[in-house]
Amino acid sequence: MTDDSRRQRRPDEEEAEDFGPPLFADSDDDTTDGLSFGASDTGPLPHWTEPPTGEMPRTLTTAAPSDPSDDLDVWSSFAGKAPVWSDDDPTGAHDETNEMDRVVATQPPADDTDDITTRDESIPLRREPGRITIGTDPTDGRPRTVPRKGRAGEPNRSGRPNRPGSKARPATGPGKGGGRDLPTAIVVGLAIAAVFVIAVLINPKLVLLVVVAALFFGAIEYFDKVTEKGYRPATVIGVISCAASPIAVYWVGERALPLIIALGFVAGAMTFIGADSLESAPMPNMAITTLGVVWIGFLGSFAALILRYSKGSGFPVAAGFISTSIGTDTLVLLAIGVVANDVGALVLGSAAGKSPLRAWISPNKSVEGLFGGTVATILAMIIVGLTDRSTTWNSAGDLIILGIVISVMAPLGDLTESMFKRNLDIKDFGTMVRGHGGVLDRFDAFLFCLPAVYYLLQLLEPWATK
């Protein structure tokens, strides 16, 4: 008998025969099928003295399973989910459908309403590129809030409630008249016209004094409003530059125009150079200062250039009149044209205004009002020519051209001022001129008309036209 036959079977071997061949053969010669590992399935184990390679162990073959029902596919449903511990759940109740949302919710967004004074000064603020906004210094990102005037709780133009002390602006549209007090506006307008006419009749230098006063108070209104809204301009330099500009131009002439801008800019720069630190925000505040000097002082100085035609010697003299009437006569016609444009736009715009001219700037200004102002201005110039009231503008054609120029430039000046007021979120620049707002609100159209009329006067030479 062989050893196999003499060896007695153990109970577990009898049970294994009932379930098939054994998993592992007793000898190398045994050809029984069993579980085995190929040479490529596992590599040789590295010695414990060898340094780690950093590679991840290969547990699965790269070949896709041939059987789609392979047991490995059951793990694919967990590939896109990450475990979430119940202790980390901020909501308390476990919700399998919003696990990732709750993980994100553990980091709440920062509150934008935090006061800047509560920040840790040791942590530098991150500078964000973007546009300059009112009340914000873009050089350090710190908001400069200024309380507004009026009632609180009422929505403003942006849809947010006004802060305590702010006044809600009335909702208006094309043809509503903008809430102007017409009786008061008419009375005040006639008073201003009377002062101007008296100055024209007495002496051109009195007209220059009226121009200087208008630019002085207009500059005060402008710099007061931009300061109220968070800017820190060089107010003293700006006001002095605006008031001194017409005097310098009347004295020196057109050569003083670039000198005005240069000296005003240098003086403003010296003001900010003398500041303690970058907290003075020199760039935006220099820009807002220069804007006031150019808009009010530079453009307003052209009134003095027109008045220079009434100084006397050195200016052309036409037959039948003296030279001292050229400048004052032109300014009177300019005033008539601007007032006619304003009245015509108000009347026709209130009666038939339906199409906003620029709704985002001023919903009260309509295309119909623009047409009415143009017609009224040209008609006023024609009436002046027919009645022979001008001793300088003798030709009807020149007067019509003057009316067209005023009809174009006056609305542009009005829209520009309205655009600035919309940006500053104010209704008027001041309250000095009752029924009209401030000085800038009354003379905004003149600022754009003065340079155009001055160069038109040089181009046409209307005193020489028969």
Per-residue pLDDT of the chain (466 residues; tens, 9 = 90+): 555 544 555 555 555 455 555 555 555 555 555 555 555 555 566 777 777 777 766 655 555 555 555 554 555 555 555 555 555 444 444 444 554 555 445 555 555 444 445 555 555 554 444 444 544 544 444 444 444 444 444 444 433 444 444 444 444 455 444 556 677 778 888 888 899 889 888 888 999 999 999 999 999 999 999 999 999 999 999 999 999 999 999 999 899 999 889 999 999 999 999 888 888 889 999 999 999 999 999 999 999 999 998 875 444 444 344 446 889 999 999 999 999 999 999 899 888 888 888 889 988 889 999 999 999 999 999 999 898 888 888 888 999 999 999 999 999 999 999 999 999 988 889 888 776 788 998 899 999 999 999 999 999 888 876 5
Are 420 and 273 contacting, i.e. CB atoms less than 8 angstroms apart? Answer: no
In 3D space, the residue among 458, 456, 351 whose CA is nearest the CA of residue 404 turns out to be 456
Long-range contacts of 277-284 (CB under 8 A, 24+ apart): 278/139, 278/140, 279/137, 279/140, 280/232, 281/137, 281/138, 281/139, 281/140, 281/232, 283/139, 284/132, 284/137, 284/138, 284/139, 284/231
DSSP state of 50: S
Are 410 and 380 contacting, i.e. CB atoms less than 8 angstroms apart? Answer: no
- What are the tokens at 466? 């028969």
pTM of the shown model: 0.63
Placement of tokens 């030479």 in the chain:
461
Rounded CA-CA distance 403/276 in Å is 52
Phi, psi of 121 (to 5 degrees): -65, -20
Phi, psi of 106 (to 5 degrees): -70, -15
Rounded CA-CA distance 303/312 in Å is 16
